[in-house]
Amino acid sequence: MTHTNIFQRHLLAGLAIASLTLSSAAFAGNADRAQVAIAAAKAKIETGDRLGTTEQAADAQQRARVALGTAENQFKRHHEASAYYGAKQADALAGLAMATAELTKLTTQRDQLLAR
C-alpha cells in the first residue's frame, strides 16, 4: 500500500469520525456542541501528527494546535460559543495542514515522473 493510499484511508477515517460527532451536535446544547467540536479538532490534529507534515504544512498544523488550545481555554472559562468557533478554526487549520502535506507529496511524485 502506498503512502498516498494510507494517507487517504486515515484522512477518510478521521473525517468520518468528525462528521458523525458534528452531526450529533446539531441537537446538543452550546456546551455539548463546543465539546464535540473540540474533540473533532483534536482528532484531526492527531491524525495530521500521525501522518506527518512537511515544512509548508507544519505552520498550519502549529496554528491548529494554538487555536485548539485557545478553544479549550475558552471552554474552561464557560465561553462555549467562543470555544466552538475556536475549535472549528483549529479543525479547518488541521485540514489545511493535511491537504498541504498531501499536495506536497503529490507534487514530488509528479516531478519524479516527469524527470524520467
Report whether pLDDT(5) > 80.
no
d(CA 78, CA 48): 28
Report whether pLDDT(98) > 70.
yes
Q: What is the mean pLDDT of residues 82-87?
A: 98
- Say which CATH number the domain at 39 has: 1.20.120
Run of H or E including 44: helix 30-51
> Structural domain tally of the chain?
1
Task: Name the pTM for this structure.
Answer: 0.73
Q: Which of 33, 46, 42, 49 is nearest to 85 (CA)?
A: 33
By residue range, what is the domain housing residue 78? 3-114
